[in-house]
Amino acid sequence: METKKKIYIIASAFFLIAMFLILFFIYPLFKEISKKSRELVTQRNNLLFLEGQFNEVEKFKKNYETYRPNLDKIDNLFVDSQNPVNFIEYLEETASASGIELKISAPTILKEKTSLYDKFQFSSTGGFSGTLKFIKNLETGPYLVQIQNISIGNIKDSQTSVGANIAIKVFAK
């Protein structure tokens, strides 16, 4: 019976030592290997993404001259916030072509989270159809314009003229 007891004790000791080794050495080692392999896969994916981005930039650089006319057109959609003279001249020419008289207030430069824009307010006097033509030309013109407020009313002592107060937002660069 003594030998059986010794065998059970030795087997139990080996089992406990094996469990101790697995629990404190082998399992953490596998856990660390798993963690490092996930990091390696993430870094590899990031590298592939960056290589793709680099290739896209290189392709864009090669085709830049092809894109340039369209980029210039897009650039011209925005008003120069430091010097809006061209836009003001456009407003005056459009008003003159529409047959209305325009009085422009000084622009207000505002910045939202993602964009910069100038806010213009002006009043006009002229015929109703001319005012509508001016508004239509403003919306379809060469600048990115958003009409924010329009108020149109009759002018005292005039049967044919209307007065309009217009507030617009023009996207700027």
Tens digits of residue pLDDT in 15-38? 888 888 778 888 888 888 899 999
Query: Which of 12, 31, 62 is the endpoint of a domain?
Result: 62
Residue 71 lies in a domain: no
Q: How far apart are CA 103 and CA 125, in angstroms?
A: 9
**Token pair of 168, please?**
């617009």
Residue 107 lies in a domain: yes
Residue 166 lies in a domain: yes
Same domain? For 38 and 113 the reply is no
Report the predicted TM-score, pTM, of the whole model to 2 decimal places: 0.59
**Token pair of 161, please?**
């003229």
Same domain? For 100 and 142 the reply is yes
Same domain? For 106 and 57 the reply is no
| Residue 21 domain boundaries | 2-62
| Domains in the chain, number | 2
- pLDDT reported for residue 41: 93
CA distances from 71 to 26, 29, 63, 67 (A): 60, 55, 12, 6
Give me the amino acid identity at 4: K
- pLDDT reported for residue 112: 66
Residue 57 lies in a domain: yes
Give me the amino acid identity at 112: E
Higher confidence at residue 112 or residue 6? Answer: 6
Cα torsion for 76, 112, 167, 100, to the nearest 10°?
-10
Same domain? For 87 and 162 the reply is yes
Residue (of 90, 119, 89, 123) closest to 104 by Cα position: 123
Same domain? For 91 and 154 the reply is yes
Query: Which of 29, 62, 95 is the endpoint of a domain?
Result: 62
**Terminal Cα-to-Cα distance of the chain (whole angstroms):** 96
Q: How far apart are CA 164 and CA 133, in angstroms?
A: 13
pLDDT in tens, 121-140: 888 888 888 888 988 998 88
Give the CATH number of the domain where residue 99 resides: 3.30.70.60
- pLDDT reported for residue 115: 66
Residue (of 123, 129, 132) closest to 163 by Cα position: 123
Q: How far apart are CA 70 and CA 25, in angstroms?
A: 63
Backbone angles phi, psi at 100, to 5 degrees: -125, 160
Same domain? For 26 and 85 the reply is no
Query: Which of 62, 87, 112 is the endpoint of a domain?
Result: 62
Residue 167 lies in a domain: yes
